[in-house]
Amino acid sequence: MLKTHTCGELRTGHAGQRVTLAGWVNRRREHGGLIFIDLRDRWGITQVVVDASRTPEAHALALRVRGEYVLQVEGVVQVRAPEAVNPDMPTGEIEVQAERITILNPARTPPIEIAGEHEANEEVRMRYRYLDLRRARMQRNLILRHQVTLYIRNFLSERGFVEIETPILFKSTPEGARDYLVPSRLHPGKFYALPQSPQQLKQLLMVAGYERYFQIARCFRDEDQRGDRQPEFTQLDLEMSFVEREDILNLIEELMTRLIEDVSDKRLVTRPFPRLSYAEALERFGTDRPDVRFGLELTDVSDIVARSEFRVFTGTVEAGGKVRALVAPGCAEYSRRQIGELEDIARDAGAKGLATVAVRADGTLRSPLAKFFSEDVMAELIAAVEATPGDLILMVADTPSLVNEALSALRVELARRLNLVDPDEMSFCWILDFPLFEWNEEENRWDPSHHMFTSPRPEDTPLLDTDPGAVLSQQYDLVCNGYEVAGGSIRIHNREIQEKVFALIGLDVEDARERFGHLLDAFEYGAPPHGGIAAGLDRLVMLMAGEPNIREVIAFPKTQRAADLMASAPSEVDPEQLEELHICICLDKKPAGSGKGS
């Protein structure tokens, strides 16, 4: 080893010891005959002192040293004088008196500040990701990520789970997200697909008798990006045999609870995790992934406002729509402009407008709607939403789904404005009892709302024949701080039910064989009852690290346009490579020069 100690471990107890450190120059302070070098490695920073009067050779070398040079320093640990102690550093009570310095490698001035406080923009950070990753923030995040995966592996292994790798080169199934395709050299004109998740494979592992499987699995989806979505991402994927919903929920709840408590500095506020039905989540929060760190719940006021003279409301209710309300506490004196900003949010979500009633501190009302409401109806409305003086009532009238979208967006924005969100809190909740199907207007058929192997609740199976829209499933989602962090289900293992589901989603037996033959065959050879869940590891680590997007917890993420700015991927390839793969490029007729036809 080129070092005897790390830059984070020396303390007063090491005083007098001869040590060798190696690392990067975090900062250098030159005082003529005395030079201070803050030497940094993965474990910390230690101050090195070079004294011209004691070690002229080392001092001469230190004069040439610059930021991010890679050094090896041999010297003696000495306790600092009391007035020279730096209480902000773990190693601040000691320093290393350098006797010999070796420049292991010089460094160009980096394009981004590694020790400084200026955050470079993402383009520069991505282009020089290896420098970005040198910064404390990224080191902390990636080390946390390692601790999380290690914890998960140990936790599951202790409970009898086996980690099994599944193929990255697999079969395209045109359900769900767009596949990333890989051309086959040996099979001209044919393609592999990168897995969107190991869903089918883990079910096959249950048929294979492993009973408890998990994998930290890379997944690929060729869809547009978001702050919490990358083209390749990582799932904690697991599946169990001979289990019921309750078993999976308890396992994951224990894992999450202990994981957060043991490896993060976040606080868990909701334990046990609250359980909401899908219907209840929409009713109370307007979304199936509510942030439950704060209240601001919605109230249905359709029946009350139907008795007003306000035609937008009465008309909406008559047409089968809903009018729902959200109370913004203490916002009665919001300016016209502030209310306008809230209205813009509602409109962005698809609402046609935003109705407001301000209940002033003195009890008087300020509302464009006042003239359409009798005193009684208005009083009933205020009572129903439990508004108190100083509050602002926000109402949206439209179809239930549009009302929910607009109000849940407003709810999140208000929480932000009113500072109701504690960033150190992680609040989980389970969402249960999803509908098994969603009606697809365009195709005039039912779509699975999760996937086609999700089991209906046993008590609902008779409804498959009579009222498919009313069938609730054994799907469960785990939500944390408004993010969906895990989702899974108990699967169908009964052939008759599976065929009914296929029929309802318009998949005839032939199609099903074509796409899932291997799985259907397998199910005929003794498939145990089974179920599982997949958790978004990137999102989970993001929340634990307190980061605003998953790029901050991925070593080499891609940009919104799915590019790697450091390596310049994707890139063109040699014609010979294409020829070998039997591939012809056929670009759209677009203006030349972009090189990015589709």
Partner RNA sequence: GGGGGCGUAGUGUAGUGGUUAACACGCCGGCCUGUCAAGCCGGAGAUCGCGGGUUCGAAUCCCGUCGCUCCCGCCA
Residues 555-574, interacting with RNA (CB under 7 A) = 559-561, 563, 565
Q: Which residue has the tokens 């009018």?
A: 323
CA atoms within 13 A on the CB side of 33: 4
- Residue number with CB closer to RNA (368 or 506): 506
What whole-number distance in Å separates Cα of residue 190 and Cα of residue 186?
A: 9
For RNA, the binding residues in 225-254 under the rule CB under 7 A are 225-227, 229
For residue 543, give the amino acid letter. Answer: L
Residues in the chain: 598
- Residue number with CB closer to RNA (215 or 302): 215
Long-range contacts of residues 269-274, Cβ cutoff 8 Å, at least 24 apart: 269/293, 269/425, 269/426, 269/427, 270/427, 270/428, 270/429, 273/428, 273/429, 273/430, 273/478, 274/429, 274/430
Would you tell me how many other CB atoms lie within 10 Å of the CB of residue 302? 19
What whole-number distance in Å separates Cα of residue 568 and Cα of residue 510?
A: 43
Q: Does residue 598 interact with RNA by CB under 7 A?
A: yes
Among 41, 71, 77, 95, binds RNA (CB under 7 A): 95
Smallest distance, Å, CB 207 to RNA? 17
- Residue number with CB closer to RNA (321 or 532): 532
Q: Does residue 88 interact with RNA by CB under 7 A?
A: yes
Q: Does residue 596 interact with RNA by CB under 7 A?
A: yes
Smallest distance, Å, CB 28 to RNA? 7
Stretch that binds RNA, among 24-32, 263-271, 422-430, 507-515 (CB under 7 A): 24-32
For RNA, the binding residues in 114-153 under the rule CB under 7 A are 116-124, 126
Q: Does residue 335 interact with RNA by CB under 7 A?
A: no
Q: Does residue 223 interact with RNA by CB under 7 A?
A: yes
Q: Does residue 221 interact with RNA by CB under 7 A?
A: yes
Smallest distance, Å, CB 333 to RNA? 27
Among 19, 34, 70, 133, binds RNA (CB under 7 A): 34
What whole-number distance in Å separates Cα of residue 241 and Cα of residue 260?
A: 27
Query: What DSSP state is assigned to residue 287?
Result: S
Q: Does residue 339 interact with RNA by CB under 7 A?
A: no
Smallest distance, Å, CB 83 to RNA? 6
Bridge-based pairing of strands 365-366 and 392-398 is: unpaired
What whole-number distance in Å separates Cα of residue 366 and Cα of residue 389?
A: 12
Smallest distance, Å, CB 360 to RNA? 32
Please, are residues 480 and 427 in contact by the beta-carbon 8 Å criterion? Answer: yes
For RNA, the binding residues in 493-552 under the rule CB under 7 A are 549, 551
For RNA, the binding residues in 180-209 under the rule CB under 7 A are 196-197, 199
Smallest distance, Å, CB 547 to RNA? 11
> What angle do helix axes 400-417 and 336-348 make, rounded to 10 degrees?
130
- Residue number with CB closer to RNA (335 or 594): 594
Among 2, 146, 157, 224, binds RNA (CB under 7 A): 224
- Residue number with CB closer to RNA (77 or 331): 77
Q: Does residue 11 interact with RNA by CB under 7 A?
A: no
- Residue number with CB closer to RNA (448 or 468): 448
Collect all residues with Cβ–Cβ distance below 8 Å to 276 and sequence separation of at least 6. 284, 290, 429, 430, 431, 432
Q: Does residue 578 interact with RNA by CB under 7 A?
A: no
- Among 519, 584, 490, smallest CA distance to 247 is for 490
Smallest distance, Å, CB 32 to RNA? 2
Among 247, 348, 508, 511, binds RNA (CB under 7 A): 348
CA dihedral 47, 49, 50, 52 (to 10 degrees): 160
Three-state secondary structure readout of 202-229 = HHHHHHCCCCEEEEEEEEECCCCCECCE
- Residue number with CB closer to RNA (145 or 551): 551
- Residue number with CB closer to RNA (203 or 264): 203
Q: Does residue 111 interact with RNA by CB under 7 A?
A: yes
According to DSSP, the residues that pair with 105 across neighbouring strands are 70
Query: What DSSP state is assigned to residue 13?
Result: G
According to DSSP, the residues that pair with 484 across neighbouring strands are 479
Smallest distance, Å, CB 473 to RNA? 11
Stretch that binds RNA, among 136-144, 173-181, 331-339, 570-578 (CB under 7 A): 173-181
Smallest distance, Å, CB 426 to RNA? 19
Among 1, 16, 31, 419, binds RNA (CB under 7 A): 31
How many positions of this chain bind RNA (CB under 7 A)? 71
> For residue 372, what are its two tokens?
């359409």
Going residue by residue from 54 to 73, which x/- string records binding to RNA, judged by CB under 7 A?
------------xx------
For RNA, the binding residues in 435-474 under the rule CB under 7 A are 447-452
- Residue number with CB closer to RNA (312 or 412): 412
Please, are residues 40 and 26 in contact by the beta-carbon 8 Å criterion? Answer: yes
Collect all residues with Cβ–Cβ distance below 8 Å to 502 and sequence separation of at least 6. 452, 508, 509, 512
Residues 576-598: b if buried by 16+ CB within 10 A, e if exposed: eeeeebeeeeeeeeeeeeeeeee
CA angle 10–16–20, rounded 5-degree value: 55
304: left (phi over 0), alpha (psi -120 to 50) or beta: alpha
Smallest distance, Å, CB 594 to RNA? 5
Smallest distance, Å, CB 313 to RNA? 25
Q: How far apart are the first and last CA of the chain?
A: 51
Going residue by residue from 268 to 297, which x/- string records binding to RNA, judged by CB under 7 A?
------------------------------
- Residue number with CB closer to RNA (190 or 226): 226
Q: Does residue 399 interact with RNA by CB under 7 A?
A: no
- Among 31, 98, 109, 100, smallest CA distance to 66 is for 109
Stretch that binds RNA, among 22-30, 269-277, 459-467, 507-515 (CB under 7 A): 22-30
- Residue number with CB closer to RNA (373 or 523): 523
- Residue number with CB closer to RNA (111 or 368): 111
Please, are residues 378 and 366 in contact by the beta-carbon 8 Å criterion? Answer: no
